């Protein structure tokens, strides 16, 4: 059964911490800002953080409730973000157009033919970077009657699909020190940072 994200967001005034994800911040803090795609942006903390650092951000999520909150937070922060009410596959984002594609703990369903994985990789421009972070324990600890983590993508699913035009910068599990609040339920991040080769002159 698909997750009803509007219902989940509506059950609380705020679902996430409002702070950018640490693995993303550490991965891109030295990057020159360009065009970024935030996949599964939730309440918008990462997108707003990127926009505040000069990135031109497109952010998408399947929850209208989350996007309404994200838009309000962006207005409060004085930044502009293009918000898309859509999943990744149906979003129609332009291919090879983003200097950064960020996927932080996304809930992306697998499909035949690696469509979701390809959509992530295809969005990255030549010379651009994919930062994909998920719960390292996702596969072993999140089984429920109506939710099987094997149906959803993690960084480990993307790595085998990286071709010769990709360089893996980081592919590791890292401790995550969050004792309370959002994110306190897991202790390790699986972090993939991969860079696409620049276009040939």
Residue bearing the bigger pLDDT, 65 or 7: 65
Report the candidate in 32, 41, 79 with the shortest Cα–Cα distance to residue 59. Answer: 41
Residue 124: exposure state from Cβ atoms within 10 A (0-12, 13-18, ≥19):
buried
Query: In a 3-state reduction of DSSP, which class is residue 52?
Result: helix
What is the per-residue pLDDT across 150-166, written as a single tens digit (0 to 9) for each? 788 999 999 999 999 99
Q: Which domains does the chain have, with CATH numbers?
A: 33-196 (3.40.50.150)
Residue 149 has pLDDT above 50, yes or no: yes
What is the per-residue pLDDT across 125-145, written as a single tens digit (0 to 9) for each? 999 999 999 988 765 555 445
State the angle between helix axes of 45-52 and 64-77 in degrees (0 to 180), rounded to the nearest 10. 30
Report the candidate in 65, 62, 71 with the shortest Cα–Cα distance to residue 109. Answer: 62
Identify the residue whose tokens are 């502009």: 80
């Amino acid at each position: 059964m698909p997750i009803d994200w509007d219902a989940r967001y509506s059950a609380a005034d705020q679902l996430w911490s409002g702070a950018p994800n640490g693995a993303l911040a550490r991965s891109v803090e030295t990057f020159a800002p360009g065009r970024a795609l935030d996949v599964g942006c939730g309440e918008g903390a990462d997108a707003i953080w990127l926009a505040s650092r000069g990135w031109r951000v497109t952010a998408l999520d399947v929850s209208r409730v989350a996007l309404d909150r994200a838009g309000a937070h962006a207005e409060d922060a004085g930044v502009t973000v293009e918000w898309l009410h859509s999943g990744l596959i149906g979003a129609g984002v332009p291919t090879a157009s983003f200097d950064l594609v960020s996927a932080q703990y996304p809930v992306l369903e697998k499909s035949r033919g690696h469509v979701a994985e390809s959509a992530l990789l295809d969005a990255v421009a030549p010379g651009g970077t994919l930062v994909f972070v998920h719960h390292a324990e996702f596969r072993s600890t999140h089984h429920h009657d109506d939710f099987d983590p094997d149906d959803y993508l993690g960084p480990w699913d993307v790595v085998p699909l990286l071709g010769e035009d990709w360089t893996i910068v980081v592919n590791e599990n890292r401790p995550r020190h969050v004792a309370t609040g959002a994110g306190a339920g897991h202790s390790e991040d699986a972090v993939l940072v991969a860079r696409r080769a620049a276009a040939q002159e």
